Structure 1
Amino acid sequence: MAVVASGRTVPKPGPLTVDDLQHTPDDGRRYELVDGRLDAAPAPSSLHTLATGRLTAHLSYAAPVGMLVMDGPGITLDTERTRHRIPDVAVIRSEDFQMPYTTRPPVLAIEVVSPESVFRDHHTKRREYAEFGVPSYWVITPDRDKASIIELRLEDGEYAEVSAAFGEEVFETSVPFPARIVPQWMLRLDGDWRAHIAGPEETEETTRPPAGD
Protein backbone atom coordinates (compact mmCIF):
# COMPACT_ATOMS: atom_id res chain seq x y z
CA MET A 1 0.00 0.00 0.00
CA ALA A 2 1.08 3.58 -0.59
CA VAL A 3 -0.08 7.13 -0.14
CA VAL A 4 0.58 9.97 -2.56
CA ALA A 5 2.27 13.02 -1.05
CA SER A 6 3.56 16.05 -2.96
CA GLY A 7 3.48 14.15 -6.23
CA ARG A 8 5.46 11.16 -4.97
CA THR A 9 4.47 7.73 -3.70
CA VAL A 10 5.25 6.96 -0.07
CA PRO A 11 5.08 3.32 1.06
CA LYS A 12 2.72 2.60 3.92
CA PRO A 13 2.14 -0.81 5.50
CA GLY A 14 -1.41 -2.09 5.65
CA PRO A 15 -4.57 -0.52 4.27
CA LEU A 16 -5.00 3.23 4.07
CA THR A 17 -7.52 5.00 6.28
CA VAL A 18 -9.21 8.40 6.12
CA ASP A 19 -6.28 9.80 8.13
CA ASP A 20 -4.04 9.20 5.12
CA LEU A 21 -6.21 11.38 2.88
CA GLN A 22 -4.62 14.49 4.38
CA HIS A 23 -1.42 13.52 2.54
CA THR A 24 -3.01 13.45 -0.92
CA PRO A 25 -1.97 16.33 -3.20
CA ASP A 26 -4.21 19.33 -3.75
CA ASP A 27 -4.31 18.76 -7.50
CA GLY A 28 -8.03 19.04 -8.21
CA ARG A 29 -8.58 15.30 -8.27
CA ARG A 30 -10.98 13.57 -5.89
CA TYR A 31 -9.42 10.91 -3.65
CA GLU A 32 -11.63 8.22 -2.16
CA LEU A 33 -10.91 4.92 -0.40
CA VAL A 34 -12.03 1.44 -1.40
CA ASP A 35 -11.07 -1.18 1.19
CA GLY A 36 -7.91 0.73 2.08
CA ARG A 37 -6.89 1.52 -1.52
CA LEU A 38 -6.87 4.96 -3.09
CA ASP A 39 -9.47 5.54 -5.79
CA ALA A 40 -8.57 8.78 -7.59
CA ALA A 41 -10.88 10.54 -10.04
CA PRO A 42 -9.84 13.43 -12.29
CA ALA A 43 -11.11 16.95 -11.74
CA PRO A 44 -14.75 17.22 -12.85
CA SER A 45 -15.60 18.62 -16.28
CA SER A 46 -17.40 21.92 -16.81
CA LEU A 47 -20.74 20.17 -17.41
CA HIS A 48 -20.32 18.10 -14.27
CA THR A 49 -19.55 21.19 -12.19
CA LEU A 50 -22.45 23.14 -13.71
CA ALA A 51 -24.95 20.38 -12.95
CA THR A 52 -23.64 19.88 -9.42
CA GLY A 53 -23.70 23.60 -8.60
CA ARG A 54 -27.21 24.18 -9.87
CA LEU A 55 -28.55 21.04 -8.23
CA THR A 56 -27.02 21.98 -4.87
CA ALA A 57 -28.48 25.48 -5.03
CA HIS A 58 -31.93 24.28 -6.10
CA LEU A 59 -32.17 21.56 -3.47
CA SER A 60 -30.89 23.92 -0.77
CA TYR A 61 -33.77 26.26 -1.57
CA ALA A 62 -36.28 23.38 -1.41
CA ALA A 63 -34.88 21.72 1.73
CA PRO A 64 -36.83 22.13 4.96
CA VAL A 65 -35.27 23.26 8.22
CA GLY A 66 -33.26 20.38 9.66
CA MET A 67 -31.94 19.15 6.30
CA LEU A 68 -28.50 20.13 4.99
CA VAL A 69 -27.67 19.97 1.29
CA MET A 70 -23.92 19.55 0.93
CA ASP A 71 -21.64 19.76 -2.10
CA GLY A 72 -19.10 16.91 -2.09
CA PRO A 73 -19.11 15.87 1.60
CA GLY A 74 -16.76 13.12 2.72
CA ILE A 75 -18.55 10.03 4.04
CA THR A 76 -16.71 7.24 5.86
CA LEU A 77 -18.56 3.98 5.25
CA ASP A 78 -17.01 1.57 7.75
CA THR A 79 -15.74 1.46 11.31
CA GLU A 80 -12.23 0.55 10.11
CA ARG A 81 -12.28 3.86 8.16
CA THR A 82 -10.90 2.18 5.03
CA ARG A 83 -13.94 2.97 2.87
CA HIS A 84 -14.50 6.62 2.11
CA ARG A 85 -16.67 8.15 -0.59
CA ILE A 86 -17.42 11.70 -1.70
CA PRO A 87 -20.83 11.92 -3.37
CA ASP A 88 -21.24 14.92 -5.64
CA VAL A 89 -24.19 16.09 -3.54
CA ALA A 90 -25.66 14.69 -0.35
CA VAL A 91 -28.50 15.57 1.99
CA ILE A 92 -28.01 14.90 5.68
CA ARG A 93 -30.01 15.66 8.79
CA SER A 94 -28.64 18.54 10.83
CA GLU A 95 -28.14 16.29 13.85
CA ASP A 96 -25.96 13.96 11.74
CA PHE A 97 -23.45 16.67 10.82
CA GLN A 98 -19.94 15.64 11.88
CA MET A 99 -16.38 16.85 11.37
CA PRO A 100 -14.19 16.27 9.51
CA TYR A 101 -16.36 13.63 7.77
CA THR A 102 -19.73 12.11 8.45
CA THR A 103 -19.95 8.49 9.52
CA ARG A 104 -23.74 8.28 9.35
CA PRO A 105 -25.78 7.54 6.23
CA PRO A 106 -27.09 10.64 4.46
CA VAL A 107 -30.78 10.57 3.59
CA LEU A 108 -29.84 11.14 -0.05
CA ALA A 109 -26.65 10.62 -2.06
CA ILE A 110 -26.31 11.97 -5.60
CA GLU A 111 -23.67 11.12 -8.18
CA VAL A 112 -23.25 13.06 -11.43
CA VAL A 113 -21.83 10.64 -13.97
CA SER A 114 -18.57 11.41 -15.76
CA PRO A 115 -17.24 9.35 -18.70
CA GLU A 116 -14.74 7.57 -16.44
CA SER A 117 -17.21 7.03 -13.58
CA VAL A 118 -20.06 5.20 -15.37
CA PHE A 119 -19.35 1.79 -13.83
CA ARG A 120 -18.40 3.27 -10.47
CA ASP A 121 -21.59 5.32 -10.13
CA HIS A 122 -24.04 2.78 -11.57
CA HIS A 123 -22.59 -0.30 -9.91
CA THR A 124 -19.82 0.11 -7.31
CA LYS A 125 -21.21 3.11 -5.43
CA ARG A 126 -24.73 1.80 -5.84
CA ARG A 127 -23.70 -1.32 -3.91
CA GLU A 128 -21.65 0.58 -1.32
CA TYR A 129 -24.36 3.13 -0.56
CA ALA A 130 -26.96 0.37 -0.26
CA GLU A 131 -24.76 -1.57 2.18
CA PHE A 132 -24.24 1.62 4.19
CA GLY A 133 -27.99 2.15 4.42
CA VAL A 134 -28.44 5.32 2.33
CA PRO A 135 -32.22 5.28 1.74
CA SER A 136 -32.23 7.27 -1.51
CA TYR A 137 -29.71 7.46 -4.36
CA TRP A 138 -29.86 9.55 -7.55
CA VAL A 139 -27.70 9.00 -10.60
CA ILE A 140 -27.53 12.00 -12.93
CA THR A 141 -26.18 12.00 -16.48
CA PRO A 142 -25.20 15.54 -17.59
CA ASP A 143 -25.84 15.08 -21.31
CA ARG A 144 -26.23 18.35 -23.26
CA ASP A 145 -28.73 16.68 -25.59
CA LYS A 146 -30.77 14.75 -23.01
CA ALA A 147 -29.76 15.01 -19.38
CA SER A 148 -31.34 12.50 -17.03
CA ILE A 149 -32.08 11.75 -13.40
CA ILE A 150 -32.64 8.20 -12.13
CA GLU A 151 -34.02 7.83 -8.61
CA LEU A 152 -33.38 4.66 -6.61
CA ARG A 153 -34.68 3.80 -3.17
CA LEU A 154 -33.51 1.19 -0.71
CA GLU A 155 -35.79 -1.85 -0.49
CA ASP A 156 -34.74 -4.92 1.51
CA GLY A 157 -31.10 -3.90 1.40
CA GLU A 158 -30.96 -3.23 -2.35
CA TYR A 159 -31.78 -0.28 -4.57
CA ALA A 160 -34.81 -0.35 -6.83
CA GLU A 161 -35.43 2.25 -9.51
CA VAL A 162 -38.61 4.17 -8.68
CA SER A 163 -38.58 7.02 -11.21
CA ALA A 164 -36.60 8.67 -13.97
CA ALA A 165 -36.82 11.83 -16.06
CA PHE A 166 -35.07 12.82 -19.29
CA GLY A 167 -34.48 16.10 -21.06
CA GLU A 168 -37.39 18.51 -20.57
CA GLU A 169 -39.46 16.06 -18.50
CA VAL A 170 -40.20 17.04 -14.91
CA PHE A 171 -38.61 14.82 -12.29
CA GLU A 172 -40.72 14.88 -9.14
CA THR A 173 -40.06 13.23 -5.81
CA SER A 174 -41.15 13.41 -2.17
CA VAL A 175 -37.97 11.84 -0.75
CA PRO A 176 -36.20 13.13 1.29
CA PHE A 177 -38.44 16.18 0.75
CA PRO A 178 -40.67 17.37 -2.09
CA ALA A 179 -38.67 18.55 -5.11
CA ARG A 180 -39.20 19.09 -8.83
CA ILE A 181 -36.34 19.20 -11.34
CA VAL A 182 -36.18 19.47 -15.12
CA PRO A 183 -32.92 17.64 -15.96
CA GLN A 184 -32.04 19.77 -18.99
CA TRP A 185 -32.19 22.98 -16.95
CA MET A 186 -29.25 21.78 -14.88
CA LEU A 187 -27.21 22.49 -18.03
CA ARG A 188 -28.97 24.98 -20.30
CA LEU A 189 -27.35 28.37 -20.84
CA ASP A 190 -30.05 30.13 -22.86
CA GLY A 191 -32.27 31.41 -20.07
CA ASP A 192 -32.73 31.87 -16.35
CA TRP A 193 -32.26 28.34 -15.04
CA ARG A 194 -33.68 29.33 -11.66
CA ALA A 195 -37.01 30.16 -13.25
CA HIS A 196 -37.20 26.89 -15.19
CA ILE A 197 -35.42 24.15 -13.25
CA ALA A 198 -38.55 23.20 -11.27
CA GLY A 199 -40.67 23.06 -14.42
CA PRO A 200 -43.91 24.93 -15.12
CA GLU A 201 -45.79 26.04 -12.05
CA GLU A 202 -48.76 23.90 -11.18
CA THR A 203 -51.99 25.83 -11.23
CA GLU A 204 -55.51 24.99 -10.20
CA GLU A 205 -56.36 24.65 -13.88
CA THR A 206 -53.57 22.15 -14.59
CA THR A 207 -54.17 20.09 -11.45
CA ARG A 208 -57.99 20.09 -11.53
CA PRO A 209 -59.37 16.64 -12.50
CA PRO A 210 -61.32 16.55 -15.75
CA ALA A 211 -65.02 17.24 -15.44
CA GLY A 212 -67.37 14.31 -15.74
CA ASP A 213 -69.74 13.88 -18.65
Structure 2
Amino acid sequence: MAPEAPPSEWPVPPDGGWTADDLDRLPGLPLHTQLLDAALVFPCPQSGQNRLEADVIVVREAALTCLEQTRVPATAVVLAVEVTSPDSVSRDRETKPLKYARAGIAHYWRVENEKGLAVVHAFELEPTTRAYTSVGIFRERMKVSAPFPMDLDLTAVKPRRGGE
Protein backbone atom coordinates (compact mmCIF):
# COMPACT_ATOMS: atom_id res chain seq x y z
CA MET A 1 0.00 0.00 0.00
CA ALA A 2 1.40 3.39 -0.97
CA PRO A 3 2.08 5.76 1.89
CA GLU A 4 -0.40 8.60 2.25
CA ALA A 5 0.85 12.11 1.63
CA PRO A 6 0.56 14.54 4.50
CA PRO A 7 -2.85 16.25 4.43
CA SER A 8 -1.30 19.60 3.46
CA GLU A 9 -0.09 18.11 0.14
CA TRP A 10 -3.54 16.98 -1.04
CA PRO A 11 -5.43 19.57 -3.09
CA VAL A 12 -8.65 20.57 -1.34
CA PRO A 13 -11.55 21.22 -3.75
CA PRO A 14 -13.32 24.55 -3.58
CA ASP A 15 -17.06 24.73 -2.91
CA GLY A 16 -18.80 23.44 -6.03
CA GLY A 17 -15.79 21.36 -7.10
CA TRP A 18 -12.87 22.01 -9.40
CA THR A 19 -13.13 23.83 -12.74
CA ALA A 20 -11.07 23.56 -15.92
CA ASP A 21 -9.33 26.82 -14.99
CA ASP A 22 -8.36 25.35 -11.60
CA LEU A 23 -6.80 22.35 -13.34
CA ASP A 24 -4.56 24.68 -15.35
CA ARG A 25 -3.44 26.59 -12.23
CA LEU A 26 -2.89 23.85 -9.63
CA PRO A 27 0.83 23.31 -9.01
CA GLY A 28 2.41 19.87 -8.86
CA LEU A 29 -0.32 17.80 -10.52
CA PRO A 30 0.90 14.68 -12.33
CA LEU A 31 0.88 14.80 -16.13
CA HIS A 32 -2.43 13.68 -17.66
CA THR A 33 -4.50 14.59 -14.58
CA GLN A 34 -8.12 14.82 -15.72
CA LEU A 35 -11.14 16.74 -14.52
CA LEU A 36 -14.26 14.56 -14.41
CA ASP A 37 -17.51 15.78 -12.88
CA ALA A 38 -15.69 18.54 -10.96
CA ALA A 39 -13.28 15.98 -9.42
CA LEU A 40 -9.59 15.48 -10.13
CA VAL A 41 -8.73 12.09 -11.60
CA PHE A 42 -5.08 11.17 -11.34
CA PRO A 43 -3.36 8.97 -13.92
CA CYS A 44 -2.70 5.38 -12.95
CA PRO A 45 -1.97 2.11 -14.71
CA GLN A 46 -5.09 0.90 -16.53
CA SER A 47 -5.65 -2.28 -14.53
CA GLY A 48 -9.45 -2.11 -14.73
CA GLN A 49 -9.79 -2.14 -10.97
CA ASN A 50 -12.26 0.10 -9.20
CA ARG A 51 -12.99 0.51 -5.52
CA LEU A 52 -16.14 2.51 -5.25
CA GLU A 53 -17.54 3.62 -1.94
CA ALA A 54 -21.29 4.08 -1.80
CA ASP A 55 -22.80 6.42 0.75
CA VAL A 56 -24.75 3.47 2.21
CA ILE A 57 -24.47 -0.26 1.59
CA VAL A 58 -26.49 -3.18 2.82
CA VAL A 59 -24.51 -6.41 2.90
CA ARG A 60 -25.22 -10.02 3.65
CA GLU A 61 -24.45 -10.85 7.27
CA ALA A 62 -21.99 -13.57 6.25
CA ALA A 63 -19.79 -10.90 4.64
CA LEU A 64 -19.09 -9.25 7.98
CA THR A 65 -16.20 -11.25 9.32
CA CYS A 66 -14.66 -8.64 11.60
CA LEU A 67 -15.40 -5.15 12.88
CA GLU A 68 -12.13 -3.74 11.50
CA GLN A 69 -13.11 -4.74 7.96
CA THR A 70 -12.91 -1.78 5.53
CA ARG A 71 -14.33 -3.39 2.42
CA VAL A 72 -16.57 -6.20 1.30
CA PRO A 73 -16.73 -7.97 -2.06
CA ALA A 74 -19.38 -6.74 -4.50
CA THR A 75 -21.00 -10.19 -4.37
CA ALA A 76 -21.88 -9.53 -0.71
CA VAL A 77 -23.58 -6.19 -1.41
CA VAL A 78 -27.38 -6.40 -1.54
CA LEU A 79 -28.01 -2.66 -1.99
CA ALA A 80 -25.85 0.37 -2.84
CA VAL A 81 -27.23 3.83 -2.08
CA GLU A 82 -25.79 7.11 -3.33
CA VAL A 83 -26.92 10.46 -1.95
CA THR A 84 -26.27 13.06 -4.62
CA SER A 85 -24.64 16.38 -3.97
CA PRO A 86 -23.89 19.11 -6.50
CA ASP A 87 -20.42 17.72 -7.21
CA SER A 88 -21.51 14.06 -7.48
CA VAL A 89 -24.65 14.21 -9.65
CA SER A 90 -23.02 12.90 -12.84
CA ARG A 91 -21.06 10.17 -11.02
CA ASP A 92 -24.14 9.07 -9.06
CA ARG A 93 -26.46 9.10 -12.09
CA GLU A 94 -24.13 7.70 -14.76
CA THR A 95 -20.75 6.37 -13.68
CA LYS A 96 -21.43 4.52 -10.44
CA PRO A 97 -24.67 2.75 -11.51
CA LEU A 98 -22.87 1.34 -14.56
CA LYS A 99 -20.01 0.04 -12.42
CA TYR A 100 -22.34 -1.32 -9.72
CA ALA A 101 -24.36 -3.15 -12.37
CA ARG A 102 -21.22 -4.63 -13.92
CA ALA A 103 -20.21 -5.82 -10.45
CA GLY A 104 -23.57 -7.59 -10.10
CA ILE A 105 -25.02 -5.50 -7.26
CA ALA A 106 -28.73 -6.32 -7.47
CA HIS A 107 -30.20 -3.06 -6.14
CA TYR A 108 -29.16 0.57 -6.51
CA TRP A 109 -30.94 3.58 -5.02
CA ARG A 110 -30.11 7.21 -5.71
CA VAL A 111 -31.35 9.82 -3.23
CA GLU A 112 -31.72 13.35 -4.51
CA ASN A 113 -32.79 16.65 -2.99
CA GLU A 114 -35.80 17.97 -4.88
CA LYS A 115 -36.82 21.39 -3.56
CA GLY A 116 -35.78 20.43 -0.04
CA LEU A 117 -37.45 17.01 -0.11
CA ALA A 118 -35.82 13.59 -0.45
CA VAL A 119 -36.64 11.71 -3.64
CA VAL A 120 -35.47 8.12 -4.09
CA HIS A 121 -34.84 6.66 -7.53
CA ALA A 122 -34.82 2.87 -7.11
CA PHE A 123 -33.28 0.43 -9.60
CA GLU A 124 -33.01 -3.34 -9.86
CA LEU A 125 -30.49 -5.28 -11.88
CA GLU A 126 -32.01 -7.04 -14.87
CA PRO A 127 -30.00 -10.30 -14.93
CA THR A 128 -30.09 -10.89 -18.69
CA THR A 129 -28.72 -7.50 -19.69
CA ARG A 130 -26.84 -6.84 -16.43
CA ALA A 131 -28.21 -3.30 -16.53
CA TYR A 132 -30.41 -1.48 -14.05
CA THR A 133 -34.09 -0.95 -14.70
CA SER A 134 -36.14 1.58 -12.77
CA VAL A 135 -38.53 0.14 -10.21
CA GLY A 136 -39.82 3.52 -9.13
CA ILE A 137 -39.30 7.12 -8.20
CA PHE A 138 -40.49 7.71 -4.66
CA ARG A 139 -41.59 11.01 -3.17
CA GLU A 140 -43.13 11.43 0.27
CA ARG A 141 -43.35 7.64 0.87
CA MET A 142 -41.22 4.70 -0.24
CA LYS A 143 -42.82 1.31 0.11
CA VAL A 144 -40.91 -1.62 -1.43
CA SER A 145 -40.67 -5.36 -1.00
CA ALA A 146 -37.19 -5.81 -2.51
CA PRO A 147 -34.41 -6.12 -1.59
CA PHE A 148 -36.27 -6.24 1.73
CA PRO A 149 -39.69 -5.02 2.90
CA MET A 150 -39.59 -1.36 3.83
CA ASP A 151 -42.06 1.47 4.31
CA LEU A 152 -40.29 4.82 4.72
CA ASP A 153 -41.76 8.27 5.27
CA LEU A 154 -39.52 10.39 3.02
CA THR A 155 -41.01 13.63 4.36
CA ALA A 156 -39.16 12.92 7.61
CA VAL A 157 -35.79 12.94 5.80
CA LYS A 158 -34.20 16.35 6.23
CA PRO A 159 -31.40 17.75 4.08
CA ARG A 160 -27.97 18.34 5.57
CA ARG A 161 -26.80 21.83 6.37
CA GLY A 162 -25.96 23.61 3.15
CA GLY A 163 -29.10 22.32 1.41
CA GLU A 164 -27.50 19.22 -0.11
Q: TM-score, normalised by structure 1?
A: 0.50
Residue 93 of structure 2 contacts residue 110 of structure 2 at CA under 8 Å; is this kept in 1?
yes
Task: Specify whether residues 142 and 4 from structure 1 end up closer, same or farther in structure 2 by C-alpha distance, changes over 3 A only.
Answer: farther
Q: Distance in 2 between matches of 1:118 and 1:183?
A: 20
Matches within 5 A, 1:131-142: 131-142=102-113
In structure 2, runs of 5+ residues without a counterpart are 13-33, 40-46, 160-164
Number of the residue aligned with 2:53: 86
Q: Secondary structure at the match of 1:125?
A: helix
| 1:5 counterpart letter in structure 2 | A
| 1:103 counterpart letter in structure 2 | P
2:50 is the counterpart of 1:97: no
Runs of 4+ in 1 over 4 A off after TM superposition: none
Residue 117 of structure 2 contacts residue 157 of structure 2 at CA under 8 Å; is this kept in 1?
no
Residue 81 of structure 2 contacts residue 110 of structure 2 at CA under 8 Å; is this kept in 1?
yes
Task: Specify whether residues 107 and 81 from structure 1 end up closer, same or farther in structure 2 by C-alpha distance, changes over 3 A only.
Answer: same
Residue 144 of structure 1 contacts residue 187 of structure 1 at CA under 8 Å; is this kept in 2?
no
In our comparison, the structure showing a higher alpha carbon Rg is 1
| 2:103 counterpart letter in structure 1 | F
Number of the residue aligned with 2:136: 163
2:59 is the counterpart of 1:125: no
Matches within 5 A, 1:41-190: 82-97=49-64, 99-105=69-75, 106-155=77-126, 156=128, 157-166=130-139, 169-187=140-158
Matches within 5 A, 1:184-203: 184-187=155-158
Residue 117 of structure 2 contacts residue 158 of structure 2 at CA under 8 Å; is this kept in 1?
no
| 1:151 counterpart letter in structure 2 | A
**1:90 positional shift:** 0.6
In structure 1, runs of 5+ residues without a counterpart are 10-24, 26-36, 43-79, 189-213
**1:82 positional shift:** 3.3
| 1:90 counterpart letter in structure 2 | I
| 1:8 counterpart letter in structure 2 | E
Task: Specify whether residues 3 and 119 from structure 1 end up closer, same or farther in structure 2 by C-alpha distance, changes over 3 A only.
Answer: farther
Identity %: 29
Residue 96 of structure 1 contacts residue 104 of structure 1 at CA under 8 Å; is this kept in 2?
no
**Aligned residues, how many?**
122
Q: Which has the higher helix share?
A: 1
**1:4 positional shift:** 5.6
